[in-house]
């Protein structure tokens, strides 16, 4: 109930009630992860409406639980006055509940989720350990798709609840595409792997690149330097955009500013991409306990791409144990 109380404090004076439908936010507040649509009405006496398929799992979550047969069943909970809904709620769901236009959009739970407690960090550390130990078991031969499938399988055997996202394995000239989908192509150089495991609902996210040629090694060294500069900058009280600037400053010095085409990192937790973003337009002040990635990359279209990514705790240091430099496969 402590998290619910904090959420109520966040909306106090702005709304009389908040409707929470995002499954990760419901889990964060109640410990219950819906498998289908659910509705959490945040008031002084919160109520969780779940589908009948979820009722057994939801019972015992610490608040009143009820079953809804159809979406319109929950409309009676909506009282006249200030109602807050999350920005992620589908427009169709708003219409089916019959909210009309008498509501405001707020994201109070995202703000609470940015700072992790000891238990949350422990869960992510476990997810990261599963991911890294699984990676070390991989025999790197065959195709990109085969490597991705092996890694996913070994993480499952190691205790992961799933993958944080579709595992990226890309090599040779295709490595210049940051989110390339694994193919049946045989492995080439460089070989970029971006993967993550899930433990107790919490995610990990790591990237390593195997490099072979002298130029690939040079680019990797630049990125490691940029990553370390970003980590030095990422202290409590510093804005997210300042960390991004520190990372980009190093890459710019070496003449690759136009080849770093995404943010320098992002929050991680119940979702693999959470607030804040280490980007030029994010002015969020970093707070001790935030868990973020730092992931500089350089992408040379038609040639190759390299990325290195670690998770770190603001005020607590890097969580990863894998070295930045990996011997060629």
pLDDT, tens digit, 9 for 90 and up, residues 25-44: 999 999 999 999 999 999 98
CA distance 92 to 82: 20
The answer to whether 237 touches 271, Cβ cutoff 8 Å, is: no
pLDDT tens digits for 92-108? 888 888 887 778 899 98
Place of tokens 């019959």: 98
Tokens of 45: 């006496």
Helix residue ranges, H only, 12-107:
23-30, 55-58, 91-97
Does this model's pTM top 0.85? My answer is yes
* Domain at 118-318: CATH code: 3.90.230.10
> What is the fold of 2-113?
Creatine Amidinohydrolase; Chain A, domain 1 (3.40.350)
Q: Residues of the chain whose pLDDT is less than 70?
A: 80
Q: Residue 80's pLDDT is what? A: 66
If we measure between CA atoms, which residue out of 207, 175, 169, 206 comes closest to residue 190? 175
Q: Residue 82's pLDDT is what? A: 81
Q: Residue 219 has what DSSP assignment?
A: H
Q: Residue 242's pLDDT is what? A: 98
| 299: exposed, middle or buried (Cβ count in 10 Å: 0-12, 13-18, 19+) | buried
Delimit the domains of the chain by residue range. 2-113, 118-318
């Amino acid at each position: 109930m402590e998290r619910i109380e904090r959420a109520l404090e966040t909306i106090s004076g702005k709304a009389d009630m908040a409707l929470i439908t995002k499954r990760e936010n419901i889990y964060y507040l109640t410990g219950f992860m819906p498998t289908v649509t659910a509705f959490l009405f945040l008031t002084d006496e919160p109520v969780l409406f779940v589908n009948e398929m979820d009722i057994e799992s939801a019972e015992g979550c610490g608040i009143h639980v009820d079953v809804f047969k159809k979406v319109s069943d929950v409309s009676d909970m909506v009282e006249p006055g200030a109602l807050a809904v999350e920005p992620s709620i589908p427009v169709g769901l708003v219409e089916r509940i019959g909210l009309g236009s008498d509501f405001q959009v707020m994201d109070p739970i995202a703000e609470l989720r940015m700072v992790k407690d000891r238990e949350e960090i422990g869960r992510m550390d476990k997810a990261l350990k599963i991911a890294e130990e699984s990676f070390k078991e991989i025999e790197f031969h065959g195709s990109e798709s085969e490597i991705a499938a092996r890694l996913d399988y070994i993480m499952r055997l190691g205790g992961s609840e799933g993958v944080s996202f579709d595992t990226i394995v890309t090599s040779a000239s295709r490595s210049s595409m940051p989110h390339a989908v694994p193919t049946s192509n045989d492995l080439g150089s460089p070989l970029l792997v971006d993967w993550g495991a899930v433990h107790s609902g919490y995610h990990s996210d790591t990237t390593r690149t195997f490099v072979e040629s002298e130029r690939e090694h040079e680019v990797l060294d630049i990125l490691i330097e940029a990553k370390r500069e970003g980590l030095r900058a990422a202290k409590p009280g510093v804005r997210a955009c300042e960390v991004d600037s520190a990372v980009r400053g190093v890459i710019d010095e070496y003449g690759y500013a136009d080849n770093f085409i995404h943010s320098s990192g992002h929050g991680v937790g119940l979702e693999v991409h959470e607030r804040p973003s280490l980007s030029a337009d994010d002015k969020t002040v970093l707070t001790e306990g935030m868990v973020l990635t730092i992931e500089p990359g350089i992408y040379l279209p038609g040639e190759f791409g390299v990325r290195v990514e670690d998770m770190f705790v603001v005020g607590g240091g890097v969580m990863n144990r894998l070295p930045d430099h990996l011997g060629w496969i």
